[in-house]
């Protein structure tokens, strides 16, 4: 077991990577806190950065994406600003940042997406990054085609796309399902600029924020495994976000994941 000093030094190394190197060190989104409560710098450097960010099992780029997604879904725009910059510093491309923020419109709500994109654009301006996504949504496609495209994309990840209803859905639920197949899966998940693995990680991060034992979370974990994410990567998403969303939410997600891992389809000898 690493000593507290070893954890602290590992944490400093992670802070340096997030800060972009060259003598820069990431001091958090609200450094004033360290003046008011000095111990929290040491504690978070050891626990969050030295013990969690430095863990194997999930690469730092995907950790940065998960952190940014969770912060946006929580409408924590002060943190979003820093996590956009941190993501850039560990190799996340500007278009990937924009695409994951667009996804939060459906997983966290329109305010999360719009506010996140506005903050990201300010960071891009400060970093002299010219970032405007090309138009990729075809408004001339008919709704039936968009629906079929969405169902196909959804089924590639989760074959039983309507199996999450515990009882016969109401007409309102059916209408919402149609909209989600059309726009979340047909218009968002099919967009270029963010690979499927990264989209899955961002979707899982948004679900960790919710912290509920929900069948849709289970289905997304199953889809992640079918797409090739390892059990370790999925558990690490929950572990990574524990201090960003709260240990209760993270632990609930990890419990759901473990029930999936023990199911016949995914259990390992």
Q: Which residue, chain included where needed, has tokens 């218009």?
A: 187
Q: Is the pLDDT of residue 269 over 60?
A: no
pLDDT tens digits for range 193-207: 999 999 999 999 999
Give a yes or no: residue 154 inside a domain: yes
**Where is pLDDT greater, at 98 or 211?**
98
* Residue 163 within any structural domain of the chain: yes
Q: Encode pLDDT of 104-144 as tens digits.
A: 999 999 999 999 999 999 999 999 999 999 999 999 999 99
The string of pLDDT tens digits covering residues 29-76 is: 677 888 888 898 899 999 999 999 999 999 999 999 999 999 999 999
Q: Is residue 239 part of a domain?
A: no
241 is a domain residue:
no
When mean pLDDT is compared across 26-35, 144-153, 212-221, 224-233, the lowest value belongs to 26-35
CA–CA dist 252, 97 (Å, integer): 27
- 3-state SS class at 104: helix
Can you give 251-266 as a three-state secondary structure string?
A: HHHHHHHHHHHCCCCC
pTM attached to this predicted model: 0.94
What is the full DSSP assignment across 117-138? HHHHHHHHHHTT----PPP---
267 found inside a domain: no
* Phi, psi (deg, nearest 5) at residue 142: -80, 160
∠ Cα 178 265 173 (to 5°): 15
| Residue 13 tokens, joined | 């190394």
Which range marks the domain in which residue 181 is found?
142-191
pLDDT for 23 beyond 90: no
CA-to-CA distance for 89 and 32, rounded, in angstroms?
Answer: 22
3-state SS, residue 28: coil
Decide: 84 and 97 in contact? Cβ < 8 Å: yes
Say if residues 136 and 105 touch (Cβ distance below 8 Å): no
In a domain, 75, yes or no: no
Structure tokens that stand for 92 in this block: 């996340």
20 has pLDDT over 80: yes
Domain count within the chain: 1
Residue 159 lies in a domain: yes
């Amino acid at each position: 077991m690493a000593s507290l000093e070893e954890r602290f030094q590992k944490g400093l190394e992670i802070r340096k990577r997030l800060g972009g190197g060259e003598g820069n060190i990431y001091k958090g989104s609200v450094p004033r806190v360290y003046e008011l409560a000095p111990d929290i710098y040491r504690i978070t450097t050891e626990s969050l950065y030295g013990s969690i960010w430095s863990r194997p099992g999930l690469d730092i780029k995907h950790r940065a994406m998960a952190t940014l997604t969770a912060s946006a879904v929580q409408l924590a725009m002060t943190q979003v600003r820093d996590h956009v910059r941190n993501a850039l510093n560990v190799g996340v491309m500007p278009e990937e940042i924009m695409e994951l923020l667009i996804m939060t419109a459906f997983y966290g709500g329109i305010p999360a997406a719009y506010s996140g994109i506005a903050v990201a654009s300010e960071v891009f301006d400060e970093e002299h990054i010219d970032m405007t996504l090309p138009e990729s949504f075809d408004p001339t496609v008919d709704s039936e085609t968009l629906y079929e495209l969405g169902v196909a994309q959804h089924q590639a990840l989760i074959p039983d796309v309507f199996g999450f209803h515990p009882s016969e859905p109401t007409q309102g639920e059916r209408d919402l399902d149609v909209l989600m197949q059309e726009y979340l899966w047909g218009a968002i998940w099919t967009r270029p600029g963010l690979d499927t693995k990264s989209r899955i990680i961002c979707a899982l991060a948004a679900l960790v924020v919710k912290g509920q034992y929900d069948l849709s979370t289970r289905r997304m974990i199953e889809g992640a495994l079918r797409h090739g994410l390892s059990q370790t990567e999925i558990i690490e998403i929950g572990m990574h976000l524990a201090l960003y969303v709260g240990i209760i939410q993270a632990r609930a997600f990890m419990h759901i994941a473990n029930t999936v891992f023990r199911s016949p389809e995914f259990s390992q000898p």
